[in-house]
Structure 1
Amino acid sequence: MDREFPAYLVLGNKKRIKGQSLSPVPLPANKHYRLISSVEAKAEDATVAQAQLCMEGSLDKKKARGKIVVCMRGKNARVEKGEAVHRAGGVGLVLANDEATGNEMIADAHVLPATHITYSDGVALLAYMNSTRLASGYITLPNTALETKPAPFMAAFSSQGPNTVTPQILKPDITAPGVSILAAFTGLAGPTGLTFDSRRVLFNSESGTSMSCPHVAGIAGLLKALHPDWSPAAIKSAIMTTTRVQDNTRRPMSNSSFLRATPFAYGAGHVQPNRAADPGLVYDTNATDYLHFLCALGYNSTVIGTFMDGPNACPARPRKPEDLNYPSVTVPHLSASGEPRTVTRRVRNVGAEPAAYDVRVREPRGVSVSVRPSRLEFAAAGEEKEFAVTFRARAGRFLPGEYVFGQMVWSDGAGRRRHRVRSPVVVRVGAHRTS
């Protein structure tokens, strides 16, 4: 999200490095403190790896006392690193990302003045520390910055696809705000959640799925209030097909290293609640859809009957798993020989009546995509239409087994009130399975 809590590390050479923190106290601006790496402060009985990560007991009090200690992110909790520095007598913590966590900075309520910096800034800091015998600096008090750029981008800890259990269904579905979220907090623990923290707060900065899920649950609740007749699948479709895949610089969303992210990182995209309230079309599903899906996956009626009421006999010719009426389209087994693979979808008009939608496809690299019909005309709200999407691999345009990405958009025209019903398209070419 486009909000940060910047806390600056001001170096002895007057360079300022922006990090993030919610530490309640700064280091005095008129006093510079010696900067040392955690490896320099290694305790005699600790390994270099333990000291680098500022594991508990890995720092020598004589070496760390009165200094700002630079620790690497990884393994133990970020706030535990600050406590390790605090117990060793350090006055401040600089938490530097490794290459894998890249540019993701998280604001934590550390027990001492601290700031969390990016990998590239960590490299620059190390260069400064190696350039002088008396590296020094201080850490400023955090503040709040709004409309930061780029935003959103994917957190390093966010789970990613492909779906290894059912590859015909794209996972994740969507992404939502989940880093440094201001949330109500229990009075039974300190803001770090660890036993050594005796502080008590009403609100805290939290990160993770436990923060992004409430955002989506709230959106789903609002949509149900606006549209009481919508099924859970229709609500899910509205959320997925109205997302954004660009950040606030109008560039494709990136990962924590600022490399271009894919639907395996963000699913259909980043949620947009206002657009989800008026999606135009929805991909709905019913019990029969899921019966066909389970049958296509190899479940028999006996197994299905243990958790599904009503008719559960598999049809003689069940649909393919990828024919489940999902708001995304994934074809994980497209033949490299050019043999076509067709999936079907149906949409229901929940917008204006009458309405007409035309399709536009951004094809995955090395794959041709055709949609029939390419225009859907609805005479009334609630009317459903079905369409087929056919995929063919283009010879020599792909790497065998590689996943490639595109999108399919149904649009009902131009102007501010137009609907854009967008679905991510994921294809894997050259996999052995073709059925």
Structure 2
Amino acid sequence: MATPSFAYTFLFIFLCLVSVKLSTSSENQETFIVFTSKSKKPHLFSTHNDWYSSIIDRLSPLSHHPSQLLYTYDRVAHGFSARLTPSQASELRNIPGVISVLPDQARQLHTTHSPEFLGLTESSGLWPSSDYGDDVIVGVLDSGIWPERPSFSDKGLSPVPSSWKGKCENSADFPDTLCNRKIIGARAFYKGYEAFTGSPINESVEPKSPRDRNGHGTHTASIAAGSIVANASLFGYAQGEARGMAIKARIAVYKICWSLGCYDSDILSAFDQAVKDGVHVISLSVAIPRAYPEDYYRDSTAIGAFGAMEHGVVVSTVAGNTGPGARTATNVAPWILTVGASTIDRTFPADVVLGDGRIFTGMSLYSGEPLGDNKLPLVYGGDANSTYCYSGELIASKVTGKIVFCERGGNLDVDKGFAVREAGGVGMIVDGTAGTGELIYASAHVIPATNVDEMDGNKIKEYINSAPSPTAAIVFRGTVIGTSPSAPRVASFSSRGPNPLQFEILKPDVIAPGVNILAGWSGAIGPSGSVMDQRRVEFNIISGTSMACPHVSGLAALLRKAHPTWSPAAIKSALMTTAYTIDNAGNNLIDQATGNQSNPFIHGAGHVDPNRALDPGLVYDLGVSDYVALLCTIAYNMDELSVFVKDPSTVNCSEQNLGTPGSLNYPAFSLDFLYKNQVKYKRSVKNVGSEKRAVYEVKVNAPLGVQVSVSPTKLVFNETTDMLSYEITFTNAQPARFLNSYGSIAWEDGVHIVKSPIAVL
């Protein structure tokens, strides 16, 4: 029976709800995510689900639409999502035990040679030491999977791990027999999506199953844990042996993304289910479409990732594709592994040769008959009535038999090619996007065409405007691997820091291959993504931080296998402190957007180095209590803390306070001198090397204008002491100077170099 106090409380709430029925019944419903305090469930309800259902029942009189419970969450968070009117949501905030009520929102998807570029080999290092990730389960939260692709063969794999608790959902176009020892589970989450659109998914176009109709999920899954495939390529480009980062790891598919986006209510439910199912790593290549992230307690990805971390699951996500502006990084919670994108040393050059003899190197994945060596007339699309080369707009008399220069944007590059061909054009050059510098996307064009970068595009346009009879040829050079241009470089689109929420926590954490990456593809869509593209391929080449993220997810799976007792923070630390910042030409990393030297606000700790991460020497470890201390430090109140902490009564923020967010035991340092000329941070490191009696000495590369002192300067470990602490002090030696300078500290024992970047605003 209910206690009198709870009974009267709910009676009072019910009467209040009824009293405002007339003013709210005409409102439209929206989806809201509701976080509750686990400990405040009234005793008259035997389960939390009963409690949530009762709440929804009491809200129903406020609207002529029936309120609908979509999901309940009980593993990575406590609460539910439901269809409610704004007034119902407002009243819901008054119910005891309800912590916060957040509107659902959409997030967007942000894709042979990269293992070799990363230095992974079968003879030594991370691959053989981790047995290629055997039995580690990677949960891929994305657009689903096309299971028939060779990347998902289970040949040679051992039985499904006994720890696995998930399942393969059965549906008409995805029978559970398609799961095997590689794809061990597949589920679809769409209730939030349907609730937002207001109608059921049209299953004749987009079946409610784990099958991937987009291509993105298949691509990311095969990068993280795809099996070995011989002679993989896209139309002969990037030909070679394709393999994922962790070829023996298992894939659990959680389809959260549909044609109009990926909704938080579905994402959070997938997080919850993945942890229940027993995944070890979660790979999430989605981000909010705007540049500025929300506070952690309002960010469903941060909330879900915290709960996953609490259960020992590594969560790897994208930094986002909203670069190159500053403070554009998203998914910046410190318990998340945030990944930016870089280039590799493989390109697909297609040169533009102008009539005046100048040559500009572009990129193309065109596979048909070339134009030949003879130069052809060249025309600007804007002079033929369509700057962006839209279908039906180009004037045929002005483009027939010519190469057309089209501005990027407005429509897909391949759709521009269809438009040029439709108007009689024979070739195409596509300009780079403004602000992206030297970035070039390789597109699978349907006519002889190439993409050039922004600067070269401007020069070609100048030539068209100045030459009396401009001409050009396009020369396709296939697949080229080499040191020109140098690699890796930070992709222009890769989102950057400083961290918009806490500048003291450096983001992104690392960068990884994300430009023009070959991986598996859906059989439902062509390689260009255009509805007009009827070609079907097993592999595709695309770009994005979405492609960088699963590279790191796969590496995390390998490290999880090699070091099963390591925490998610230890795995992140190993990847960060062993990352490199020197390219294959021996110079500091370059930012594609500017052509200038990159810095930690752009590339984080640097580019991942898998084999060095296997044996990092020292790690900066963190657990739930450390992150709770951070939340106390940034002044979260009890309601906000309750979103993360199941029993907030155990938290005493007066004692669990770091003093400054910069004293979180993070493997990087970020600071400014806006209000003071001296900053002190504390750190602790754990010896995870094979030598227990290790001695590490500090080496400081101080940022320009900053004095850096470390105490102590030597760390002496032994059989009984594997954890030691130090304090680092930063002093502004030039108070009148605007700093923005960078450096590093490293702990060295003669074998290991444990390096942390320093970034000063």
Task: Please report the TM-score for the alignment, with normalisation by the length of structure 1.
Answer: 0.89
Matches of residues 335-414 of structure 1 in structure 2 within 5 Å?
335-336=675-676, 338=677, 340-351=678-689, 352-380=691-719, 383-396=722-735, 398-399=737-738, 402-413=739-750
C-alpha distance in 2 between matches for 1:348 and 1:198: 55
C-alpha distance in 2 between matches for 1:159 and 1:139: 32
1:302 deviation in Å?
A: 4.2
Q: What residue is the counterpart of 2:467 in the other structure?
A: 132
Q: Which amino acid aligns with 2:707?
A: S
For residues 97-129 of structure 1, what are the alpha-carbon distances to aligned partners after superposition, in whole Å with 9 as ceiling and x for unaligned?
A: 255222111211012111112334334434543
C-alpha distance in 2 between matches for 1:315 and 1:174: 33
Q: Which amino acid aligns with 1:197?
A: D
| 1:195 alignment partner, SS class | coil
Mark the CA change 1:233 to 1:382 in structure 2 (over 3 Å): closer, same or farther: farther
Mark the CA change 1:40 to 1:27 in structure 2 (over 3 Å): closer, same or farther: farther
C-alpha distance in 2 between matches for 1:56 and 1:148: 39
Matched, 1:23 2:361: no
1:73 deviation in Å?
A: 2.9
For residues 150-185 of structure 1, what are the alpha-carbon distances to aligned partners after superposition, in whole Å with 9 as ceiling and x for unaligned?
A: 111111111111111122211111110000000111
1:14 deviation in Å?
A: 4.7
| 1:82 alignment partner, SS class | helix
| 1:140 alignment partner, SS class | strand
Matches of residues 276-315 of structure 1 in structure 2 within 5 Å?
276-309=613-646, 311-315=650-654
Equivalent residues of 1:6, 1:18 under 8 A apart: yes
| 1:423 alignment partner, SS class | strand
| 2:626 alignment partner, SS class | helix
Q: What residue is the counterpart of 2:10 in the other structure?
A: none
C-alpha distance in 1 between matches for 2:496 and 2:410: 19
Mark the CA change 1:136 to 1:389 in structure 2 (over 3 Å): closer, same or farther: same
Equivalent residues of 1:35, 1:129 under 8 A apart: yes
Matched, 1:174 2:510: yes
Q: Is the deviation greater in 377-386 or in 236-245?
A: 377-386
Matched, 1:249 2:585: yes
Q: What residue is the counterpart of 2:161 in the other structure?
A: none
Q: Which amino acid aligns with 2:645?
A: M
C-alpha distance in 2 between matches for 1:268 and 1:79: 36
Q: What residue is the counterpart of 2:476 in the other structure?
A: 141
For residues 293-319 of structure 1, what are the alpha-carbon distances to aligned partners after superposition, in whole Å with 9 as ceiling and x for unaligned?
A: 000011134432332245322234711
C-alpha distance in 2 between matches for 1:156 and 1:134: 34
1:142 deviation in Å?
A: 4.5
Mark the CA change 1:367 to 1:57 in structure 2 (over 3 Å): closer, same or farther: farther
C-alpha distance in 1 between matches for 2:415 and 2:501: 35
Matched, 1:152 2:520: no
For residues 290-343 of structure 1, what are the alpha-carbon distances to aligned partners after superposition, in whole Å with 9 as ceiling and x for unaligned?
A: 11100001113443233224532223471121111111111245535x3x2211
1:82 deviation in Å?
A: 2.8
C-alpha distance in 2 between matches for 1:160 and 1:200: 35
Equivalent residues of 1:350, 1:381 under 8 A apart: no
Q: What residue is the counterpart of 1:164 in the other structure?
A: 500
Gaps of 5+ in 2: 1-343
For residues 374-423 of structure 1, what are the alpha-carbon distances to aligned partners after superposition, in whole Å with 9 as ceiling and x for unaligned?
A: 11111138711111111111234521xx533221111112xxxx211111
Q: Which amino acid aligns with 1:345?
A: R
Q: Which amino acid aligns with 1:391?
A: F
1:287 deviation in Å?
A: 1.7
Q: Is the deviation greater in 27-36 or in 320-329?
A: 27-36
Q: Which amino acid aligns with 1:378?
A: F
Q: What residue is the counterpart of 1:117 in the other structure?
A: 452
Mark the CA change 1:75 to 1:281 in structure 2 (over 3 Å): closer, same or farther: farther
Mark the CA change 1:190 to 1:273 in structure 2 (over 3 Å): closer, same or farther: same
| 2:489 alignment partner, SS class | coil
Q: What residue is the counterpart of 1:80 in the other structure?
A: 415
Gaps of 5+ in 1: 43-50, 429-435
C-alpha distance in 1 between matches for 2:611 and 2:514: 19
C-alpha distance in 1 between matches for 2:487 and 2:581: 11
Q: Which amino acid aligns with 1:407?
A: S
For residues 71-109 of structure 1, what are the alpha-carbon distances to aligned partners after superposition, in whole Å with 9 as ceiling and x for unaligned?
A: 233454333333332333321111122552221112110
Equivalent residues of 1:233, 1:284 under 8 A apart: yes
Could you tell me the percent identity over the aligned residues? 42
Q: Is the deviation greater in 297-306 or in 160-169?
A: 297-306
Task: Please report the TM-score for the alignment, with normalisation by the length of structure 2.
Answer: 0.52
Q: What residue is the counterpart of 1:91 in the other structure?
A: 426
Q: What residue is the counterpart of 1:424 in the other structure?
A: 757
1:9 deviation in Å?
A: 2.2
1:27 deviation in Å?
A: 2.8
Matched, 1:32 2:32: no
Equivalent residues of 1:365, 1:398 under 8 A apart: no
Q: What residue is the counterpart of 1:46 in the other structure?
A: none
Equivalent residues of 1:106, 1:116 under 8 A apart: yes
C-alpha distance in 2 between matches for 1:72 and 1:214: 31
C-alpha distance in 1 between matches for 2:720 and 2:539: 44
Q: Which amino acid aligns with 2:564?
A: P
Equivalent residues of 2:366, 2:444 under 8 A apart: yes
Q: Which amino acid aligns with 2:597?
A: R
Equivalent residues of 2:632, 2:656 under 8 A apart: no
1:206 deviation in Å?
A: 0.9
For residues 213-258 of structure 1, what are the alpha-carbon distances to aligned partners after superposition, in whole Å with 9 as ceiling and x for unaligned?
A: 1100111011111111111100000001111111111111111131
Q: What residue is the counterpart of 1:8 in the other structure?
A: 351
Question: How many residues are matched?
Answer: 412
Q: CA RMSD in A?
A: 2.1
C-alpha distance in 2 between matches for 1:78 and 1:104: 15
1:56 deviation in Å?
A: 4.6
Matched, 1:104 2:443: no
1:30 deviation in Å?
A: 4.4
C-alpha distance in 2 between matches for 1:374 and 1:390: 12
C-alpha distance in 1 between matches for 2:365 and 2:527: 10
C-alpha distance in 2 between matches for 1:120 and 1:151: 20
